[in-house]
Amino acid sequence: MELRDLEIYARVADSGDFSAASRSLGITPSAVSKAVQRLEKHLRVRLFNRSSRSLTLTAEGQDFLGPANAVLTAAQEAQASVSGLPSGVLRVRSVPTFATYQLAPLMLEFQARNPEMVLEFSLSNERIASLDNRADIAIAVGELPSSNLVAKRIGSARWIMCASPLYAHTHGLPKSVEDFASHKCLDFMSRETWNAWPARFQTGSNPRRNGAMVANQGEMLAALARSGAGIARLADFHISADIEQGRLVALPTNLQDQAQEPIWVLYPQRLNLSPRIKVYVDFLEEKLSSSPWRVQL
């Protein structure tokens, strides 16, 4: 059994597509298919259910994924111990806007420091209780559900009530919570999201505000706010540049949240932590612990 075939199988399992796996690995789809076939022949089991429309892991393929990733991790760590540099793939799961506006600008420097590492980002607003076979490390915001993960705080966030200068000029800005009933407000689709509006903007189950538009992504809400569509409640790490450059204006201080939400990096509890995880956690702590996105209100 070839280590390269294991790597290709794990990449196909992660992407759910031969073509996507081939692009990320820099090889042809035919080479990917042949590697999976060799592995299946060696193991004498079928690892994937194949059809013209989908590719899914079989029960045996799912069972084999964890041990395969463990072998790949061990090989990469052995290489790192010899070369002195962390190497291999680190799979990072993150809140989309935090990854886009805070992680992405730092990754060129991280890559320069760690040229043998490859970062794979998976973005989701879902609360994280565990890391499955598709992530090695996660960035989370707010209260954490109970889990067996190590949680290290790397910064904090505040939610900023804001609108565009156009909206402020056309409609004015609210001065009290009661004023929101006559304003257009932009909201997350789910009331259970970590970015839900505070209780003081609710009367029982009814919002004390006029919901103009909803979306399931903060990036869409920010774009709507910048266009003048209404008032949004967005994280400072997302919109600090918009505030500084005048594309958005913050509402009066008495309407802003004073509480800060913790930002966490989550990773497995292990006696011998992967060098890839350690170097990435240390880098994030170095760069983000001062919460450089802080907005002065």
Q: Is the pLDDT of residue 202 over 60?
A: no
Out of 89-98, 143-152, 174-183, pick the least confident: 143-152
Q: Is the pLDDT of residue 14 over 60?
A: yes
Mean pLDDT of 85-100: 90
CA 223 from centre of chain: 19
For residue 26, what pLDDT is reported?
85
| Residue type at 219 in one-letter notation | E
What is the band of 127 on the pLDDT scale with cuts at 50, 70, 90? Answer: confident
What is the band of 147 on the pLDDT scale with cuts at 50, 70, 90? Answer: confident
Q: Is the pLDDT of residue 70 over 70?
A: yes
CA 111 from centre of chain: 19
Check if 1-82 and 85-153+261-292 are the same fold: no
Structure tokens that stand for 10 in this block: 């794990």
- Quick one: fold of 85-153+261-292? D-Maltodextrin-Binding Protein; domain 2 (3.40.190)
**Closest to 251 measured CA to CA, from 156, 155, 179, 157:** 179
Q: Is the pLDDT of residue 253 over 70?
A: yes
Selected residue with higher pLDDT from 167 and 199: 167
Structure tokens that stand for 17 in this block: 């597509």
Mean pLDDT of 247-257: 92
Mean pLDDT of 130-155: 84
Q: Is the pTM of this model over 0.75?
A: no
CA 57 from centre of chain: 24
In this structure, the number of other CB atoms found within 10 A of the CB of residue 47 comes to 22
How do beta strands 261-267 and 150-157 pair?
antiparallel
Containing H/E element for 238?
A: helix 236-244
Structure tokens that stand for 7 in this block: 């790597």
Pick the CATH number of 1-82 from 1.10.10.10, 1.10.3720.10, 3.50.50.60, 3.40.50.1450: 1.10.10.10
**Closest to 155 measured CA to CA, from 275, 237, 276:** 237
Mean pLDDT of 48-65: 87
The conformational region for residue 44 under phi > 0 = left, psi -120 to 50 = alpha, else beta, is left
Selected residue with higher pLDDT from 190 and 279: 279
The sheet with strand 261-267 has its strands ordered as 117-123, 88-94, 137-141, 261-267, 150-157
What is the band of 133 on the pLDDT scale with cuts at 50, 70, 90? Answer: low
The domain limits of the chain are 1-82, 85-153+261-292, 159-255
List 51's β-bridge partners, or say none: none
For residue 196, what pLDDT is reported?
62
Structure tokens that stand for 160 in this block: 């900023």
**Distance, CA of 244 to CA of 225 (rounded, Å):** 15
For residue 177, what pLDDT is reported?
86
The phi, psi pair for 72, rounded to 5°, reads -65, -40
Spatial CB neighbours of 272, under 8 Å, sequence gap ≥ 6: none
Mean pLDDT of the chain: 86
**Closest to 11 measured CA to CA, from 87, 1, 31:** 31
For residue 213, what pLDDT is reported?
85
Q: Is the pLDDT of residue 25 over 90?
A: no
**Distance, CA of 197 to CA of 224 (rounded, Å):** 17
Spatial CB neighbours of 39, under 8 Å, sequence gap ≥ 6: 1, 5, 6, 8, 9, 47
For residue 90, what pLDDT is reported?
92
For residue 191, what pLDDT is reported?
54
Tokens 């170095």 correspond to 286
Q: Is the pLDDT of residue 9 over 70?
A: yes
The phi, psi pair for 157, rounded to 5°, reads -130, 150
Containing H/E element for 3?
A: helix 3-15
**Distance, CA of 75 to CA of 176 (rounded, Å):** 59
**Distance, CA of 61 to CA of 40 (rounded, Å):** 9
Write out the CATH class of domain 159-255: alpha beta
